[in-house]
């Protein structure tokens, strides 16, 4: 076990190593293909990797298994100088390519990048086509910054909204998370990089830092020492894993076909994820037929005392430097026959296959070149995602703001002039910043805009009173490395008591609009005392403009919640005991809520959320009708019953009967959704497919329901007007 202090030291040392000079890419391995059969482009990447592996010495093979000097990048795979194979760099996240990490713990350094909205915002778009575009954008940027691999997406389910990486997740539902991750991977890999689907698996918390000094913006990478991600053991049933935590990975692997998977820091039912025979050999490779590369999470994803288990169970690559896979450790184990040479070859082949498929032999990335990036084009994608992800939670009619007819807007809140984003490896130093206050001021529809970022409630109230409309911009702060200590907007205290500020403004100005920029769910106890609530997530580098466009009605608010917003912390599925979260003193985190994660819990317990999963208002209204249910899918009509163009997001849920040992069943489970843009009065027929797997539960294997399956379609998990059944319903 590594205590917190040594972890900090390890990070500092590794970060310092990352600053060693960058090795420049050599002439391509295949510029002279004579005697190099692996250069034959007519062969698939697997065959070429096999041929190249056969040409390597044992020393060269061993060198490939541990990371390599990464210069400005987060990590690198060793070159083979003798054969002209260049070093392959990896970096980035779903949010952007924020290399480098510097020794003082600050992330961003000199390189700027397009900062996408948080993946929670992307999930809120409910739009896989947009996820594909976002992936293609970040993939392109990763390549132009000299990378062969891109370290995302994260398909971890949001189990606890406290989690420091909530913003990096696609939310609480496996269907939505899997669809978004798969589409993002397809987009990113189309740009000529391999992706790394992370963090496999059951990686759902960072750990608490009870002193709360770390995990702030001043120190973005915190260290949650209580049930830290480096130490905790997820005690979780096989069923909850298969149905909830592994399901998004499975979809992402089957549909996205990522070049690599990153195994997680934590333990799962005993072994560390990167040494787990069950996760790596049985589930990933045997059950899902995954043939790609498995790399460890950074620095302490692999453990020297577990080297044999890592090697045998399927960890191909240790990142970012060879400690557990140090040649000096592995070589004698191979010589003694403890480790098999055939398995060494397999690890090497998988590493090479990923890099060859991403072009390392034929078209290796050039050194980073910021000027090659289409900054405007990428900004447009960031704006499209931000716009598509904005969720209108409440609107008494104050929105959309009437251009020109709203002469005096007061923009308030200490976050109004700052862009909101999360910390850790998902942080990016953006090409542009676009705070809400500036974007509202610049909007062509805006009249007189007063911006005041005071924390003084009395002053804010008087500024609000003197205006026609108050827009209060609030935010939270999440970071990799440490969980949030509470879910209110008072936590962390960086921005003062934002809840009290909202209450004061709302008391002074009936037309108060609150714009929440948070990585995930926060408590919004004042919601019924304000005129409108707009959930904008961490909206990325074009976020202000996107929010202004939604507020002025240039675009319909088309996002829907990928997470439940609870009324109170006591309602969370993990609130019942510290065993569930943050875990016991022995670092065991008991996933006793089983499959009742997110809305599945609130539905099963009859707990009313503040806003349910799938919820979001539009400036128009929709009606659903004419449901037809069949074994392979449902068809229904969606109609725009209002007077503006808008996006309906009809969702398909199933309620499964008990299946074998799977006696506890969530009342509803999402199985399909589609974003449909409709003109006023327009009616469209929508078909959402169902598969046998959609009607199955895990009971020692996937078992299809034999009894009565309830089927429902509607606007959110709590608004399901169309009902039908499948099977024997008596």
Active site amino acids: 297
User: Residue 513 is inside which H or E element, if any?
Assistant: strand 512-517
Least Å from the CB of residue 648 to ligand BGC: 35
In angstroms, give the least distance from the CB of 501 to ligand BGC.
Answer: 34
Q: Helix or strand or coil: residue 551?
A: helix
Residues 6+ apart with CB under 8 A from 81: 26
Nearer of residues 295 and 536 to ligand BGC, judged by Cβ? 295
Residue identified by tokens 């696609």 is 170
- Inter-helix orientation angle 327-335/58-65, to 10°: 130
Helices and strands counted in the chain (H then E): 17, 26
Beta bridge partners of residue 708, listed in sequence order: 727
User: Which one of residues 127, 140, 172, 297 is an interface residue with ligand BGC (CB under 6 A)?
Assistant: 297
DSSP structure string for 470-536: EEEEEE---BTTB--S-SSTTSSGGG--HHHHHHHHHHH-SSEEEEEE-SS----TTGGGSSEEEE-
Cα distances from 247 to residues 147, 179, 251, in angstroms, run 29, 10, 6
Using the minimum distance from each CB to ligand BGC, give the nearer residue, 74 or 536.
74
Residue 425 lies near ligand BGC (rule: CB under 6 A): yes
Size of the site for ligand BGC (CB under 6 A): 6
| Closer to ligand BGC by Cβ: residue 151 or 357 | 151
**Under rule CB under 6 A, residue 97 binds ligand BGC:** no
Q: Is residue 73 near ligand BGC by the rule CB under 6 A? A: no
Q: Cβ 264 to ligand BGC, closest distance in Å?
A: 8
Assess contact for 197 and 262: CB atoms under 8 A.
Answer: yes
CA angle, residues 138, 122, 528, in degrees to nearest 5? 150
Nearest residue (CB) to ligand BGC, 15 versus 713:
15
Residue 44's contacts (CB-CB under 8 Å, 6 or more residues apart) are: none
Residues of span 188-217 touching ligand BGC by CB under 6 A: 198
Residue 560 binds ligand BGC, judged by CB under 6 A: no
> Minimal distance in Å, beta carbon 425 to ligand BGC?
3
Task: Kindly tell me which residue out of 298, 565, 591, 668 binds ligand BGC, with binding defined by CB under 6 A.
Answer: 298
| Minimum distance, C-beta of residue 298 to ligand BGC, in the bound complex (Å) | 4
Q: Which is nearer to ligand BGC, 298 or 668 (CB)?
A: 298
Residue whose CB is less far from ligand BGC, 153 or 566: 153
Are 30 and 361 in contact by the 8 Å Cβ rule? The answer is yes
Using rule CB under 6 A, residue 74 touches ligand BGC: yes
Q: Which of 7, 52, 142, 151 binds ligand BGC (CB under 6 A)?
A: 151
Residues 214-273 that bind ligand BGC (CB under 6 A): none
Backbone dihedral region for residue 192 (phi beyond 0: left; psi -120 to 50: alpha; all else: beta)? left
> Would you say 322 or 667 has its CB closer to ligand BGC?
322
SS3 326: coil
CB of 90 to ligand BGC, least distance (A): 8
Minimum CB separation of residue 70 from ligand BGC in Å reads: 10
Look up residue 318 and give its DSSP letter.
Answer: B
Footprint of ligand BGC on 613-672 (CB under 6 A): none
Q: Looking at beta carbons only, is 74 or 524 nearer to ligand BGC?
A: 74
Residue in 56, 61, 26 with CA at minimum distance from that of residue 38: 56
Rounded to whole angstroms, the Cα distance separating 116 from 99 reads: 15
For β-strands 633-640 and 622-630, DSSP reports them as: antiparallel
Q: How far apart are CA 360 and CA 182, in angstroms?
A: 23
> 676 forms bridges with which residues in the sheet?
648
Q: How far is the CB of 151 from ligand BGC (least distance, A)?
A: 4
Structure tokens, 125: 């778009």
Binding footprint of ligand BGC on the chain (CB under 6 A): 74, 151, 198, 297-298, 425
């Amino acid at each position: 076990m590594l205590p917190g202090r040594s972890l900090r030291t390890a990070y500092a040392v590794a970060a310092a190593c990352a600053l060693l000079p960058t090795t420049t890419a050599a002439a391509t391995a295949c510029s002279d293909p004579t005697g190099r059969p692996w250069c034959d482009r007519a062969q698939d990447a697997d065959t070429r990797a096999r041929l190249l592996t056969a040409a390597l010495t044992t020393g060269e093979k061993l060198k490939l298994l541990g990371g390599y000097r990464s210069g400005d990048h987060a990590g690198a795979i060793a070159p083979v100088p003798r054969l002209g194979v260049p070093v392959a760099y990896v970096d980035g996240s779903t949010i952007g390519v924020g290399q480098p990490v510097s020794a003082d713990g600050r992330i961003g350094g000199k390189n700027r990048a397009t900062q996408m909205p948080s993946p929670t915002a992307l999930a809120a778009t409910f739009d896989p086509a947009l996820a594909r575009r976002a992936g293609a954008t970040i993939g392109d940027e990763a390549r132009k910054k000299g990378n062969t691999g891109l370290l995302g997406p994260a398909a971890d389910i949001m189990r606890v909204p406290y989690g420091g990486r909530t913003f990096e997740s696609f939310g609480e539902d496996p269907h939505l998370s899997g669809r978004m991750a798969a589409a993002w991977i397809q987009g990113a890999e189309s740009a000529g990089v391999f992706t790394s689907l992370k963090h496999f698996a059951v990686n759902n918390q960072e750990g608490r830092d009870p002193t709360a000094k770390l995990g702030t913006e001043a120190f973005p990478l915190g260290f949650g020492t209580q049930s830290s991600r480096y130490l905790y053991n997820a005690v979780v049933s096989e069923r909850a894993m298969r149905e909830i935590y592994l399901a998004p990975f499975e979809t992402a692997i089957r549909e996205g076909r990522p070049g690599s998977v990153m195994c997680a820091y934590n333990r799962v039912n005993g072994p560390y994820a990167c040494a787990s025979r069950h996760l790596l050999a049985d589930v990933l490779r045997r059950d899902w037929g995954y043939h790609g590369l498995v790399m460890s999470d950074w620095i302490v994803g692999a453990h020297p005392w577990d080297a044999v288990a890592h090697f045998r169970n399927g960890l191909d690559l240790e990142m970012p430097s060879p400690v557990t896979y140090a040649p000096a450790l592995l070589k004698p184990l191979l010589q003694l026959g403890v480790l098999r040479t055939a398995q060494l070859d397999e690890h090497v082949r998988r590493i090479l296959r990923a890099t060859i498929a991403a072009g390392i032999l034929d078209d290796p990335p050039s050194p980073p070149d910021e000027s090659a990036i289409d900054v405007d084009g990428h900004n447009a994608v960031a704006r499209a995602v931000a716009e598509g992800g904005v969720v209108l939670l409440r609107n008494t009619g104050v929105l959309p703001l009437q251009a020109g007819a709203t002469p005096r807007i007061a923009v308030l809140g200490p976050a109004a002039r700052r862009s909101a984003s999360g910390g850790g490896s998902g942080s990016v130093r953006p090409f542009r910043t676009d705070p809400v206050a500036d974007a509202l001021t610049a909007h062509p529809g805006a009249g007189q805009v007063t911006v005041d970022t005071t924390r003084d409630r009395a002053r804010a109230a008087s500024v609000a009173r003197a205006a026609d409309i108050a827009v209060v911009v609030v935010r939270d702060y999440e970071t990799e490395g440490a969980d949030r200590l509470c879910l209110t907007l008072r936590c962390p205290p960086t921005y003062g008591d934002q809840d009290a500020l909202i209450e004061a403004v709302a008391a002074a100005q009936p037309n108060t609009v609150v714009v929440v920029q948070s990585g995930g769910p926060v408590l919004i106890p004042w919601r019924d005392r304000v005129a409108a609530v707009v959930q904008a997530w961490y909206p990325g580098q074009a976020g202000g403009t996107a929010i202004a466009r939604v507020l002025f009605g240039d675009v319909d608010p088309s996002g829907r919640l990928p997470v439940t917003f609870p009324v109170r912390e006591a309602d969370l599925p993990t609130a019942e005991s510290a065993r569930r979260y943050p875990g016991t003193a022995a670092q065991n985190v008991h996933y006793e809520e089983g499959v009742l994660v997110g809305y599945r819990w609130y539905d099963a317990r009859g707990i009313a959320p503040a806003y349910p999963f799938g919820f979001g208002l539009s400036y128009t209204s929709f009606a659903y009708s004419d449901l037809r249910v069949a074994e392979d899918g449902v068809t229904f009509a969606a109609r725009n019953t209002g007077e503006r163009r808008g996006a309906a997001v009809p969702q398909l849920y199933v309620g499964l009967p008990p299946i074998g040992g799977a006696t506890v069943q969530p009342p509803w489970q999402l199985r399909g959704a589609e974003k449909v843009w409709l003109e006023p009065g327009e009616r469209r027929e929508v078909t959402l497919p169902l598969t046998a797997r959609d009607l199955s539960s895990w009971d020692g294997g996937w078992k299809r329901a034999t009894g009565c399956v309830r089927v429902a379609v509607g606007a959110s998990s709590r608004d399901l007007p169309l009902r039908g059944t499948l099977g024997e319903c008596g």
